[in-house]
């Protein structure tokens, strides 16, 4: 059974153009599945649809199953039982993800206590253990510090600790390294990979960064204009891209271009309708 | 912790220059008002010799500088001086009058906060008709002047319904129920505008916080809307709300001067108005300085609460 499966998922915000257009996808247990695409390709909308975090104006069609259970159409209380327990989510800007008036430790303990009767002392002990696990030095003392007393990288570690506090089966990471510099990006990706290995967490990693994909992803889906165009293993995607958009995307990567030459670009007039979508049987 | 103490000390030290400037402004402004206290006291038929004698008695023949230094020197020794018309010590007058003003402004603010904050939170998280209703109240409350609203309330509740006394006062300790009956109209007059301001501020602050990314992360952690609102959003909106409440205490104290005169409440506001009419320099100076001191103390408390609510303020860090 897949941890997360999308079947013909479409999301519309009022207008005629869907933000997500007929996406079908199976994410296997324990893998890091990357979704790449440029801004506006629908990758974040797809991720938010899993958590039921889309604004009220969104119309979602199709089916999204988490551990075999349909999540579309669930009411708020049922969604709350899934959020932060079965499925966790982290966002781009860690500094903005934490409440500036709460101590970081309490924000981790809060996730634990939101999903079951746990005494505050026990929640605190578990939060400190989590802080140590994600690499916060001197965790017991720093439990009561507020977020602005931490660096950006440390804050993203705390956000991860707060997200995965209940050992979720699935972690959705929406551009988790975009706001960080390159060294910190590598550290945070390594942390996500380590958590995946030690806890068996499946990870859906949303990014526009092909370097991130190459570094940690097992498989990758490429999105453009709301459609999922191609799904491949990370190594195949870079070695043998099959879709014309993927080839254009990889060609636009400055790392491979000769010095002084003009970089290839993706023509803005490419129409989504003319592009073939990936087959549903890619799982 | 030492950061907190340093923050408090820094903030207390800053109030001293404010008080000094305030005393200077009060002292000079009352002397700029046309009219002579001695002529006012003695009447038209007083001889020049009588006038000169009384002026000398009151020390008004001295230079402004000397008068100011003598006044401040006495203040620093705890001597507030005397009312030059009734000859009552100002310390006694203030002790009688301040509780009335405290009761009026305190009850008004309590009422305004009790209505403004919950309605503001409701408006920020509620639907369209809640917003229209509260918007209507905000425009009404802010646009209506205190003195007009006071007169209208008297017209309705005294003139037509005849359920409340129009003017007068009885001390709370003597007759609690009677005291509250006299207080209903003046307190409501002041509270309407305040509630409107506080409602608008609360609605804006809560709306702004609800749109911040950490609220999305809290939802992603599986917290209930109730817990997000009361545990996180209100605390983050708190500094803006508390700051506006602190500033509005000043507006209330100003409004109290009008409302006390309108409803014949024997508070500091009315003491000042009477004092101005009589060119009663010491009374006006001490009355205004007392109100300014209250406002400065309230501002100080406001800043301390804001520093406690938002640790970044006490740390001197940017937001």
Q: What is the pLDDT along chain A (283 residues), one digit of tens a residue?
A: 789 999 999 999 987 788 999 999 999 999 999 999 888 889 999 999 999 999 888 999 999 999 999 999 899 999 999 999 999 999 988 788 999 999 999 999 999 999 989 999 999 999 999 999 999 999 999 999 999 999 988 999 999 999 999 999 999 999 988 878 888 888 889 999 999 999 999 999 999 888 888 889 999 999 998 999 999 998 888 888 888 888 888 877 777 667 777 777 777 666 666 666 665 444 4
From CA A254, how far away is CA A79, in angstroms rounded?
42
Domain B91-315 of CATH type 1.20.1260.10: no
> How deeply is A19 buried, as exposed, middle or buried, from its count of CB atoms within 10 A (0-12, 13-18, 19+)?
buried
Q: Which of B1, B205, B212, B214 best tests the A interface by mutation, with the highest count of A CBs <10 A? A: B214
Which residues, at least 6 apart from B169, have a Cβ–Cβ distance to it below 8 Å? Answer: B100, B179, B182, B264, B265, B266
Q: Is A4 on the interface with B (CB under 8 A)?
A: no
Q: Backbone phi, then psi, for A207, in 5-degree steps?
A: -160, 160
Nearest to B194 by CA among B254, B125, B239, B261: B254
Q: Which two tokens stand for residue B231?
A: 């545990």
Which residue segment(s) compose the domain that A203 sits in? 4-282
The closest alpha carbon to A253, from A242, B282, B185, A241, belongs to A241
* A90 vs B: CB within 8 A: yes
Tell me which chain B residue has its CA closest to the CA of residue A79: B222
Note whether B311 contacts A85, CB cutoff 8 Å: no
Q: How far apart are the first and last CA of chain B?
A: 20
Using alpha carbons only, give the angle B225, B226, B231 rounded to the nearest 5 degrees. 105
CATH code of the domain covering residue A216: 3.40.50.300
Residue of chain A with shortest Cα separation from B231 = A102
Rounded Cα gap, residues B281 and A184, in angstroms: 68
The pLDDT value given to residue B169? 84
Q: How far is B220 from chain A (nearest CA, A)?
A: 5
CA distance B157 to chain A (A): 46
With CB atoms and an 8 Å threshold, state whether A101 touches B310: yes
- Distance, in Å, from the CA atom of B131 to the CA atom of B141, rounded to the nearest integer, reads 15
Question: What pLDDT shows up at residue A202?
Answer: 95
User: Do the Cβ atoms of A84 and B223 come within 8 Å?
Assistant: yes
Any idea how long chain B is? 319
pLDDT at A281: 44
Q: Give A-chain residues touching B217 at CB under 8 angstroms.
A: 89-91, 97-98, 159, 162
Contact A99 B232 (CB under 8 A): yes
Whether A98 contacts chain B with CB within 8 A: yes
d(CA B203, nearest CA chain A) in Å = 19
Selecting from A84, A85, A101 the residue whose C-beta is nearest the C-beta of B309 gives A101
Query: Which helix H or strand E contains A205, and what residues bound it?
Result: strand A202-207
| Rounded Cα gap, residues A20 and A223, in angstroms | 9
Nearest chain B residue (CA) to A95: B214
Q: What is the per-residue pLDDT for B300?
A: 87
CB A275 within 8 A of CB A17: no
State how far residue A93 is from chain B, nearest Cα, in angstroms. 8
Residue A42 to chain B, least CA–CA distance (Å): 18
Residues with Cβ within 8 Å of residue B260, at least 6 apart in sequence: B100, B101, B104, B186, B266, B267, B268, B269, B270, B273
Give CA–CA dist A23/A232, Å, rounded: 15
Chosen from B210, B215, B218, B221 to mutate, greatest number of chain A CBs within 10 A: B221
Residue in the structure block whose two tokens are 């453009």: A224
Secondary structure element (H or E) that encloses residue A36, with its range: strand A32-36
pLDDT at residue A209, rounded to an integer: 86
Chain B residue numbers touching A82 (CB-CB < 8 A): 222
Contacts of A115 in chain B (CB under 8 A): 222
* Cβ-based neighbour number of residue B304 at 10 Å: 18
Per-residue pLDDT, A283:
40
* Interface residue ranges in chain B relative to chain A, Cβ cutoff 8 Å: 212-214, 216-225, 227, 231-232, 235-236, 309-312, 315, 317, 319
Task: Kindly list the distances between the CA atom of residue A36 and the CA atoms of A281, B161, B288, in Å, as whole numbers in the listed order.
Answer: 19, 72, 67
Residues in chain B with CB shorter than 8 Å from the CB of A101 are: 232, 235-236, 309-311
Question: Which residue on chain A is closest to B308 by alpha carbon?
Answer: A101
pLDDT at B319: 43
Angle ∠(A255,A259,A261) on CA atoms, nearest 5: 100
How many contacts does A have with B, using Cβ atoms within 8 A? 81
Domain ranges of chain B: 91-315
Residues of B in contact with A80 (CB under 8 A): 222-224
pLDDT at B84: 83
Report the number of distinct structural domains present in chain A: 1
DSSP letter, residue A148: G
Sign of CA pseudo-dihedral B186, B188, B192, B195: positive
Residue A41 DSSP class: S
E-strand spans in A45-137?
A: 59-66, 69-70, 87-90
pLDDT of A243? 85
Is the CB of residue A252 less than 8 Å from the CB of residue A266? yes
| Interface contact flag, B221 A114, Cβ < 8 Å | yes
- Pairwise CA distance, residues A161 & A154, whole Å: 10
User: How far apart are alpha carbons A262 and A254 in whole angstroms?
Assistant: 9
| Residue bearing tokens 């220059």 | B17
Contact (Cβ atoms closer than 8 angstroms) between residue B133 and residue B203: no
* Burial of A6 per CB tally in 10 Å (0-12, 13-18, 19+): buried
A74 near B CB under 8 A? no
pLDDT beneath 50, residues of chain B: 318-319
3-state DSSP assignment of residue A209: coil
């Amino acid at each position: 059974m897949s941890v997360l499966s999308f079947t013909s998922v479409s999301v519309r915000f009022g207008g005629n153009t869907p933000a997500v257009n007929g996406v079908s996808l199976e994410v296997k247990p324990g893998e890091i599945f990357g979704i790449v695409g440029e801004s506006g390709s629908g990758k974040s909308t797809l991720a938010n649809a899993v958590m039921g975090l889309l604004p009220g104006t969104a119309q979602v069609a199709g089916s999204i199953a988490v551990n075999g259970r349909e999540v579309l159409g669930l009411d708020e209380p049922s969604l709350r039982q899934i959020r932060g327990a079965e499925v966790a989510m982290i966002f781009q800007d860690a500094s903005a993800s934490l409440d500036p008036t709460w101590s970081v430790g309490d924000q981790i303990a809060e996730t634990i206590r939101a999903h079951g009767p746990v005494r505050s002392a026990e929640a605190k002990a578990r939060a400190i253990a989590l802080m140590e696990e994600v690499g916060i030095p001197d965790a017991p003392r720093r439990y009561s510090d507020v977020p602005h007393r931490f660096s950006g990288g440390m804050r993203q570690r705390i956000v991860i600790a707060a997200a995965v506090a209940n050992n979720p089966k699935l972690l959705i990471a929406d551009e988790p390294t975009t706001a960080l510099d390159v060294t910190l990006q590598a550290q945070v990706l390594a942390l996500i990979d380590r958590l995946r290995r030690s806890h068996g967490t499946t990870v859906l990693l949303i990014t526009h960064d092909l370097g991130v994909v190459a570094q940690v992803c097992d498989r990758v889906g490429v999105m453009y204009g709301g459609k999922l165009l191609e799904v491949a293993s990370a190594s195949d995607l870079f070695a043998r891209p099959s879709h014309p958009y993927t080839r254009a995307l990889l060609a636009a990567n400055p790392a491979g271009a000769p010095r002084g030459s003009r970089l290839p670009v993706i023509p803005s007039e490419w129409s989504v309708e003319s592009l073939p979508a990936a087959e549903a049987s890619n799982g | 912790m030492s950061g907190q103490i340093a923050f408090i000390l820094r903030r207390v030290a800053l109030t001293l220059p404010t008080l000094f400037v305030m005393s200077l402004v009060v002292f000079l402004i009352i002397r700029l008002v046309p009219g002579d206290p001695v002529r006012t006291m003695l009447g038209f038929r007083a001889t020049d010799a009588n006038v000169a004698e009384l002026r000398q008695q009151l020390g008004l023949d001295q230079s402004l500088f000397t008068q100011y230094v003598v006044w401040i020197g006495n203040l620093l020794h705890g001597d507030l001086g005397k009312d030059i018309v009734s000859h009552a010590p100002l310390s006694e007058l203030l002790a009688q009058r301040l509780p009335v003003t405290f009761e009026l402004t305190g009850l008004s603010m309590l009422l305004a906060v009790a209505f403004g904050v919950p309605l503001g939170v409701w408006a920020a998280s509620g639907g369209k008709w809640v917003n229209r209703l509260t918007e209507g109240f905000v425009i009404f409350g802010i646009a209506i002047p205190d003195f007009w609203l006071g007169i209208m309330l008297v017209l309705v509740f005294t003139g037509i319904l005849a359920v409340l006394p129009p003017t007068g006062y009885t001390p709370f300790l003597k007759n609690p129920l009677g005291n509250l009956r006299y207080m209903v109209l003046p307190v409501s007059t002041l509270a309407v505008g305040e509630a409107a301001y506080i409602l608008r501020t609360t609605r804006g602050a809560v709306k702004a916080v609800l749109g911040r990314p950490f609220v999305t992360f809290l939802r992603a952690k599986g917290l209930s809307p109730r817990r997000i609102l009361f545990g996180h959003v209100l605390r983050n909106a708190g500094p803006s709300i508390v700051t506006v409440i602190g500033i509005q205490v000043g507006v209330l104290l100003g409004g109290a001067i009008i409302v006390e005169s309108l409803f014949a409440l024997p508070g500091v506001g009315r003491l000042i108005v009477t004092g101005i009419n009589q060119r009663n320099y010491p009374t006006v100076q001490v009355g205004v300085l007392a109100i300014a001191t209250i406002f400065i103390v309230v501002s100080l408390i406001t800043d301390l609460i804001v520093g406690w609510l938002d640790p970044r303020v006490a740390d001197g860090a940017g937001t």
